Chain A
């Protein structure tokens, strides 16, 4: 039993360490020589993630995976033209713009259209791809034969959040505009399950989706009967910081890539994208097996990252909670100066707790990682940033939990310690803290489990934890149910292992309920005086 525990502990400690140590290129080389490009690496054929560098895929910064696709090819050509080294940074869609404006990346090449709204925040290069908007529907649905927007009257339609696809839905007369969705994988699941009748997409994405899932039909509209798009909307361009000196040279490079060349690159990308060669048939277990075989390592790395962040975050958070919780037990000092400082710190801690408990972690990540970089020029390693965010978030909750834990320690314990002359510090250190730790153990375990799950929001700051990896994989293979089933099991195994370990620790701390006086004779001294 004990051995088993030791092994599990060792695993918990070593496993996350394996994912560590993949240093980020940005930290090593001079920034001037690098061309750092942000993309989702989960939007084939524009960009995707793969395990090897075949077909000239580029390694993703700070990870063991590679990025490929139309965007990557364009990025490579641009980097060559600029005479810089290409670095691909994998960031979720929502994190792209903040990453650019805060200087974490130099350009966004992620199939992004230069809309008026975006232009307020960032600049765009000339277009490097011209898109046509299409509608994706399910085979056999009444909309399969649609040829004009009018045919979609009464249909439940959605599009990707924050894209022109979504805004274009308003052009359909009498449409039921559904809530926008985060990404294509989500919309594909919604379409497959019948939650929506269709989603707005581009011909390229549509071709890909149709190719991989034969259940999908791409509706292309007759001339003049489709979506009306401005030039800006129907193109895809490179996002750049306002007033970036790169704009001019990049336009020059793009100008040298002919339309034919682009179409060829796109055709190759559609050909090469992961899953393209796969057989679309096969049952649930066939796919699960395939996903585990092909992406198992990627999932394990993601799980390792998740475990690393949540483990360190929980430990540090508990330490923060302990420190503040203990500070609050100090009796108010009598001297005015000390009392002022004491009250000031107390107020500060209260604000900290209220703010971090009262705001979502995803918002905190945005503010701390991108906000700090943009406002103060502070550039933090993203894994460290993630750990800091989870720690201070957990700390805010743990402070209150520790407070409860201290309350639960009997008043008599303090008095007994006082009565033998122990100071406040000695009492806390030797009597109260050990009991508080026991008291808060169940709640700490809870926080740990919550952290394992909540780290999934950290992909907005480009941390490749398990959920982000799963999104990437499903974005490539279009097998959402199977992919997320695998990930579901991994999450469960992690949280279940954690709860079991903590339960055992609790049991060990509690010890047996009875005591056998001579059960351990080795340690017992003979009573000397008993009359």
Chain B
């Protein structure tokens, strides 16, 4: 399988806090990888390092074989290949649903307005938000916003989608619609890295589950193995805590 992203001995410090303490992870084309772990374990920081929203302190990240940390590497280019979906949606407040999906295409990919609108509309329809194309973000519910955010990321035709806890800020009844959308994308074979607290979803959708604890990857395996036969003690304890909550 073709290697899409290779993370090598990645460290990240925020002042005196060591958040990532040597992470190694490879993501292949077409793979769906979910990252689980308790709060503060470094899941989100790892994800944000992949598209350089956070600058790693040391280590290396290769995208399709090239180091994204070298000075010559164009971050703007990288980011068009990596779509990001945020916990807080981050839809552009001054733009409606369609414009949210169009602006990046026109400004960054230099597509024509007409072409961009067509692609945006296709993606909005794909996530079931076609009829809301003219709605402004504040007219939408959390679940609807997140689906538009997914359409926005898809409109850039990324090689890989990064999801940063996409359902954590949603009311429980809206989690389903967003997860359904992500599942459909997974079924299409899109490469995805998903940081999530939804264990059921992780179990169903992932090719591989990564469990992070205290800044390192404690265990990674197929969902079957991780959820049914965890090898590490801390994986067991984490899963036990999570299951008790639900």
Contacts and interface: CB of A to CB of B under 8 A. Distances in A.
A422 B88 CA distance: 19
Contacts of A422: 76, 103-104, 107-108
Contact of A529 (B80, B90, B126): B126
Nearest to A437: B94
B167 interface: no
Interface stretch (A173-181, A358-366, A517-525): A517-525
A529 B125 contact: yes
Interface in B168-201: 184
Contacts of A430: 92, 103, 107
Nearest to B77: A421
Contacts of A518: 131
Interface in A410-444: 410, 412-413, 415-423, 426, 430-431, 434-435, 438
Nearest to B140: A515
Contacts of B76: 421-423
A416 B94 contact: no
B92 A417 contact: yes
B59 interface: no
A520 B135 CA distance: 11
A375 interface: no
Contact of A416 (B91, B122, B125, B133): B91
A514 interface: yes
Contacts of B216: none
Contact of B107 (A416, A426, A531): A426
Given A421-B79, A515-B132, A518-B131, A438 B125 contact: no
Interface string A503-527: 0000000011111011010011111
A489 interface: no
Contacts of A435: 93-94
Given A420-B153, A524-B131, A528-B122, A511 B136 contact: yes
B152 interface: yes
A412 B152 contact: no
A493 interface: no
Given A412-B88, A412-B90, A515 B135 contact: yes
A420 B149 CA distance: 11
Interface in B194-246: none
Interface in A379-431: 410, 412-413, 415-423, 426, 430-431
Contacts of B83: 419-420
A420 B152 contact: yes
A530 interface: yes
Nearest to B79: A421
B138 interface: yes
A417 B89 CA distance: 12
Contacts of B134: 515, 520, 523-524
B156 interface: yes
Contacts of A410: 88, 90, 93
B51 interface: yes
How many A residues touch the partner, as a band?
Answer: 35 or more
Contact of B131 (A417, A514, A527, A531): A527
Nearest to B118: A525
A182 B86 CA distance: 63
Which of A420, A518, A520, A523 has its CB near the most chain B CB atoms (within 10 A)? A420
B79 A420 contact: yes
B108 A426 contact: yes
A341 to B, nearest CB: 22
A417 B84 CA distance: 10
B53 A512 contact: no
B26 interface: no
Contacts of A513: 138-139
B130 interface: yes
A501 to B, nearest CB: 21
B80 A525 contact: no
Contacts of A413: 90, 92-93
Nearest to B52: A418
B108 A527 contact: no
Given A410-B90, A416-B90, A416-B91, A421 B122 contact: no
B106 to A, nearest CB: 9
A514 B139 CA distance: 5
B121 interface: yes
A343 B94 CA distance: 32
B130 A525 contact: yes
A317 to B, nearest CB: 23
B130 A527 contact: yes
A418 B79 CA distance: 8
A422 B94 CA distance: 16
B128 interface: yes
Interface string B80-123: 10111010111111110000000110011000000000000110
Given A416-B84, A420-B152, A421-B108, 11 more contacts: A419-B86, A420-B156, A421-B104, A422-B103, A426-B107, A430-B103, A523-B134, A525-B121, A525-B130, A528-B125, A530-B128
Interface of A: 410, 412-413, 415-423, 426, 430-431, 434-435, 438, 511-515, 517-518, 520, 523-531
17 contacts: A412-B89, A412-B90, A413-B90, A416-B86, A418-B79, A420-B79, A420-B83, A420-B84, A421-B75, A421-B108, A422-B76, A431-B94, A434-B94, A513-B138, A517-B135, A525-B133, A527-B128
